[in-house]
Amino acid sequence: MIRILRQIFRTGIVTEPLPDQVTREIQAAGLKLEAAVRERFRRSITIRQVDAGSCNGCELEIHAINNPIYNCEKYGIHFTASPRFADLLLVTGPVTRNMEIALRRTYVSTPSPKFVVAVGDCACTGGIFGETYASLGGVDKVIPVDARIPGCPPTPLQLMQGLTRLLDGADTKK
């Protein structure tokens, strides 16, 4: 136990480590995000992530925005296990034929008003997998999409900036 405590104190809060350029960017993006969340969503927004066929690269980066460095919880962003509690669906990957039905169901289970964000080149356009017998292409081929965050995969910073962009213009939907 003592070692655990020691490690915790030694590590400190790493959310804003080293005064480097990147850290300032994260901080800036985070504060903007927080402002948007506070204003439009009464301080917290709940996200359900759906992998509709990705290569799992995009998932890694979505995981990363939860790590202590980016720590998106701090800005009021939570990930939930159930679409029923979600305000926003974060969808990755080209939609595969085998996931199409599951994605539609998840969409229907999410209460309105809701947002859908397509994350990664694949979710935006189908990416390298294109439109084939197995891949239906971008997410908008299956459910309506409110915002797109391109990149292969988008970096955590790009993800946070993308969410801010969406939330800043959110009143159109409310």
State the residues that interact with ligand SF4 by CB under 6 A. 54-55, 57-58, 92-93, 120-122, 127-128, 152-153
Q: Which is nearer to ligand SF4, 33 or 139 (CB)?
A: 139
Q: Is 13 in the site for another protein (CB under 8 A)?
A: no
Q: Is residue 8 at the binding interface for another protein, with CB under 8 A as the rule?
A: yes
Of 161, 56, 60, 73, nearest to 117 (Cα)?
161
Q: How far is the CB of 45 from another protein (least distance, A)?
A: 16
Does residue 162 bind another protein (CB under 8 A)?
no
Q: Does 112 bind another protein (CB under 8 A)?
A: no
> Around Cβ 143, how many Cβ atoms within 10 Å?
21
Residue 152 tokens read as 């292969």
Of 105, 4, 120, give the one whose Cα is nearest residue 61: 120
Query: Which DSSP symbol is given to 96?
Result: B
Alpha-carbon dihedral sign for residues 93, 159, 142, 89: positive
User: SS3 of 17, please?
Assistant: coil
Q: Which does 41 bind (CB under 5 to 8 A by kind): another protein, ligand SF4, none?
A: none
Name which of ligand SF4, another protein, none residue 136 binds, using a CB cut-off of 5 to 8 Å depending on partner kind.
another protein
16 binds another protein (CB under 8 A): no
| Nearest-angstrom CA–CA distance, 135 and 100 | 9
Q: Answer yes or no whether residue 54 interacts with another protein by CB under 8 A.
A: yes
Interhelix angle 156-168/57-64, rounded to 10 degrees, is 80
Residues that bind another protein (CB under 8 A): 3-4, 7-8, 11, 14, 22, 49-64, 66-69, 79, 81-83, 93-94, 96-99, 102, 106, 127-136, 152-153, 155
